Structure 1
Amino acid sequence: MPRPDLPPLSTLQPFEATVRHGSMTAAARELHVTHGAVSRQVRTLERALGADLFVRGSRALTPTPQALRLAAAVRDALDRIEDAARAIARRPAAGPLTLSCEPTLLMRWLIPRLPGLARTAPDLTLHLSAAGGPVHFERDGIDVAIRRDDFPFPAGTYSARLFAEHVGPVHRPGGADVLLHTATRPGAWDDWRARTGEPHPAAAEQTLEHFSLTLQAAGAGVGTAIGPYALVHDDLERGTLAAPYGFVPDGTGYHLLARRPVESDPRTAALYAWLRTQTAEPGD
């Protein structure tokens, strides 16, 4: 069946890679071709569509809104083709799965639970990377990521919710009456007070640079910190921390992010199924 509105298919992959990387040089490197080859394909696509797809500056290559829309459609189509080809060829994805996780969550929640993952999915091998904020799958060689939804997830990213964030004051029993603040979550105490209406008088206050340091300081008896339940659960179980006011949801949550739906890769599906079984909310 003729498709007169379909652009040259050979131009679509170089175009999509250029939009994703924001660079023809990076797209050429990914596709193992020359910069000139990518440039020619993009120009061919623009001529076929009768429209410019990029705003070309002296140092920047900015996709137009129409280009972003087309790139998202191309990316989705390529993912579907790859999934169908894998199913026909019966070649399941193999090898290690690279997981990027926010550092404090990685250290205090995920790593202590990895022996359980090894028992549940013995054939799954994880490579772990500690990072937060926006995820760049191709650039950083990441397959999946765990992130809190306190920033917009990039277009074209698939998100599978893991658990809601619950927070509350935590301290070492008998520790000092000092409020611990962090530069990375400066409004944590004010947000908690607004949600609970609870006052929390203290003789002094102290600010630490990183969020993980406030939890470490709380565990050492330096003072009281706002602690997410997932990050302090194990300390509560051991009795090294106490939560006198309990925990309340703060309106955010953690998600498993991927370039394609989690069920399309058996490794990602196994990881997601296991993550959903882990205690991360009060009452679980």
Structure 2
Amino acid sequence: MTWTDLPPLGTLVAFEATVRHRGVSKAAAELHLTHGAVSRQIQQLERTLGTTLFERRNRAMTPTPAATALAAAVTDALTLLSSAARRVRHAARQTPLVLSCEPTLLMRWLIPRLPALSQAAPGLDLHLSAAGGPVPFDRKGIDLAIRRNDFELPPGVHALWLFDELTGPICTPELARRITKPADLAEVSRLHTRTRPSAWDDWASGQSTAFPPASEQTFEHFYLSLQAAAAGLGVAIGSHAFVSDDLTTGRLAAPFGFQPDGSAYFLLTRTPDDPRITTLVAWLRDQAQELNQRQDRPPTARRPRTWNQT
């Protein structure tokens, strides 16, 4: 394909503006050119095409039928060019979206679902950051964050409820068959984590019967205690969100089910002015809804909550 028959682009731009404004003066003002410069561009276009494009009478310029048809085509072409240039410019300055997520939730819930995100939004460039606690949106360039509501929500941040935190003892299916009541936990090793040191006590406080101390082992992070439980080293307190997939596949079991601990996970954003954020928020809501449907709780117990609600 060659473009040797095309007139110079500058002449077409001046011509289109003149037809649209029905005169040279307004066209010149729009293009930030002098009246004479626009007139010369039109004259050059007429010489290139070998025809007169305007009827000139008493300083009035009336486009010929051929000029009107050409102007419509030029308008369409310039609109396409402008849109293409805008997309290229936007893509050139566009950086990946940054989503910050608590490490264990990122590892065990979000990352396994990213292939579905790639299919739902193939052009979305997402950078993941593992972190917990307050979100430094400005300092770290974070666009969105998934957090448990265990800190004060800063002003100007929107919190969208995803799911409640449900916790309970988890272990291998083989070990679960030996545990039929809380007192049986005295016969197995209890796995703790330094990041949630009160997890066992919090769960035990919701039981109607006390159970005696058992042998214990402490891990640095939540995900390490869950991995230890999957390896058969004992029983850990797990979040339903963290182990939902393993419960489905049978890799882990929850002998006493799960109970809410009073907290919840939220998606935190500033005012979304990026269509990519809108796309990602919608997808995350769908994934959270799927998790909520897996929870063995009546729908009335899964109502969305506000950040400060306990």
TM-score by length of 2: 0.58
Are the equivalent residues in 2 in contact too, given 1:178–1:202 (CA < 8 A)? Answer: no
Give the one of 188, 192, 197 matched to 1:177: 188
Structure-2 change in CA distance of 1:181 and 1:198 (3 Å): farther
Instruction: Spell out the pairing of 1:142-161 with structure 2 (5 A cutoff).
Output: 142-161=142-161
Find the aligned partners of 2:209 and 2:219 in 1 and give their Cα distance: 23
1:277 and 2:277 equivalent? no
Match of 1:226 in 2: 237
Match of 1:139 in 2: 139
1:266 and 2:275 equivalent? yes
Find the aligned partners of 1:171 and 1:137 in 2 and give their Cα distance: 37
Structure-2 change in CA distance of 1:197 and 1:267 (3 Å): farther
Instruction: Spell out the pairing of 1:158-237 with structure 2 (5 A cutoff).
Output: 158-175=158-175, 177-201=188-212, 203-237=214-248
Match of 1:7 in 2: none
Match of 1:15 in 2: none
Gaps of 5+ in 1: 1-88
SS at match of 1:251: strand
Find the aligned partners of 1:92 and 1:200 in 2 and give their Cα distance: 61
Find the aligned partners of 1:192 and 1:277 in 2 and give their Cα distance: 29
Q: How much does 1:111 deviate?
A: 0.4
Are the equivalent residues in 2 in contact too, given 1:146–1:256 (CA < 8 A)? Answer: yes
Find the aligned partners of 2:238 and 2:248 in 1 and give their Cα distance: 14
Q: Which amino acid aligns with 1:268?
A: I
Instruction: Spell out the pairing of 1:22-33 with structure 2 (5 A cutoff).
Output: none
Structure-2 change in CA distance of 1:201 and 1:220 (3 Å): farther
Find the aligned partners of 1:201 and 1:238 in 2 and give their Cα distance: 31
Are the equivalent residues in 2 in contact too, given 1:132–1:147 (CA < 8 A)? Answer: yes
Are the equivalent residues in 2 in contact too, given 1:182–1:208 (CA < 8 A)? Answer: yes
SS at match of 1:111: helix
Q: Which amino acid aligns with 2:189?
A: V
Q: Which amino acid aligns with 2:167?
A: V
Are the equivalent residues in 2 in contact too, given 1:180–1:208 (CA < 8 A)? Answer: yes
Aligned length: 194
Are the equivalent residues in 2 in contact too, given 1:181–1:214 (CA < 8 A)? Answer: yes
Are the equivalent residues in 2 in contact too, given 1:161–1:255 (CA < 8 A)? Answer: yes
SS at match of 1:196: coil
1:204-228 Cα deviation digits (max 9, x unpaired): 1112121111111101101101100
Q: How much does 1:203 deviate?
A: 3.7
Q: How much does 1:198 deviate?
A: 4.8
Q: How much does 1:232 deviate?
A: 0.3
Q: Which amino acid aligns with 2:106?
A: L
Match of 1:245 in 2: 256
Q: How much does 1:153 deviate?
A: 1.7
Q: How much does 1:241 deviate?
A: 0.6
Instruction: Spell out the pairing of 1:2-81 with structure 2 (5 A cutoff).
Output: none
1:57-85 Cα deviation digits (max 9, x unpaired): xxxxxxxxxxxxxxxxxxxxxxxxxxxxx
Q: Which amino acid aligns with 1:153?
A: L
Gaps of 5+ in 2: 1-85, 176-186, 298-310
Find the aligned partners of 1:232 and 1:160 in 2 and give their Cα distance: 22
Structure-2 change in CA distance of 1:201 and 1:120 (3 Å): farther
Structure-2 change in CA distance of 1:273 and 1:196 (3 Å): farther
Structure-2 change in CA distance of 1:272 and 1:196 (3 Å): farther
Q: Which amino acid aligns with 1:277?
A: D
Structure-2 change in CA distance of 1:149 and 1:92 (3 Å): farther
CA RMSD of aligned residues (A): 2.3
Structure-2 change in CA distance of 1:244 and 1:98 (3 Å): same
Match of 1:256 in 2: 267
Runs of 4+ more than 6 Å apart: 89-93
Q: Which amino acid aligns with 2:223?
A: S
1:146-166 Cα deviation digits (max 9, x unpaired): 111111122222211111111
SS at match of 2:291: coil
Q: Computing the radius of gyration over CA atoms, which structure comes out larger, 1 or 2?
A: 2
Find the aligned partners of 2:173 and 2:127 in 1 and give their Cα distance: 37
Match of 1:33 in 2: none
Structure-2 change in CA distance of 1:183 and 1:135 (3 Å): same
Find the aligned partners of 2:198 and 2:247 in 1 and give their Cα distance: 24
Q: Percent identity of the aligned residues?
A: 58
